[in-house]
Structure 1
Amino acid sequence: MTEGWFPYEPSKPVKLIPPIVLAYIGDAIYEVAVRQYLISLPNLKPNHLHKAATGLVSAKAQSRILGLLDSELTDDEKNIVRQGRNAKSGSVPKNADVLEYRHATAFECLVGYLYYTDQHDRLRELIHIGIRQMQR
């Protein structure tokens, strides 16, 4: 991984990082991407920003985005998604069912994987496609 804005790298090769850990960082990366997208829009007030962000980062929204992206994914990305979907996290949020939560975790795992493998252009592309599709 090349040194970016924050110089810490994973403690082991990306392929050896558990999918749930990739989802952990993927959740944060996706949240920042959504906030950057929302701030790029004109005339949004803080309470609108929060409501709009929640609509894009919820487990339900992430699950839907993953479904919308399925035909766009490479075989390698589909494999990462499968690993993320099958990861055991030990909990399910109160606002999502188990299937939505597993798909959201799979999406976050993919985001974390693309981030740590320096596939930032691909990451931006998929997030852009997902957000655009959700805004329709």
Structure 2
Amino acid sequence: MIELLSESHGCLVGFQFIGEITSEDYYEVFMPPLRRAIEEYGVIRLFVDISDLQSEGIGAMDDDVREDSRVLYIERQAIVGDEEWERKLNYVDHFFLFPNSDLRFFRKNCEQDAWDWIREGMPQTRRMHASLQ
């Protein structure tokens, strides 16, 4: 399951990945808010918490998102997870890792640091409105 986080606002889109991820989660929950935020703001920032992710078979969706030129508009990514995920991400690409963006990995107990970093230098904006959710 993928959840859009309530902290999402303006050009910042945040998600939590929980358990097994299906293609429906990807196409119906993950991609639509990204596309809408990119259409509205041009360049966006992405927060992804994978600390409860159980699935590793999600790489097939990777090709779809990378072929979409809009992913080039993701300026900064904060990924939150445990030590095991940090090691795995050094060897495999997953569909929430986008090329040409500033990426930092944060441990689960450092979530607030991840939010602070992802928001750094962002203009103050309103909460993400209903059309992005």
Shorter-chain TM-score range: under 0.3
Bigger helix share: 1
Q: Which has the larger radius of gyration?
A: 1
Bigger strand share: 2
Q: TM-score, normalised by structure 1?
A: 0.27
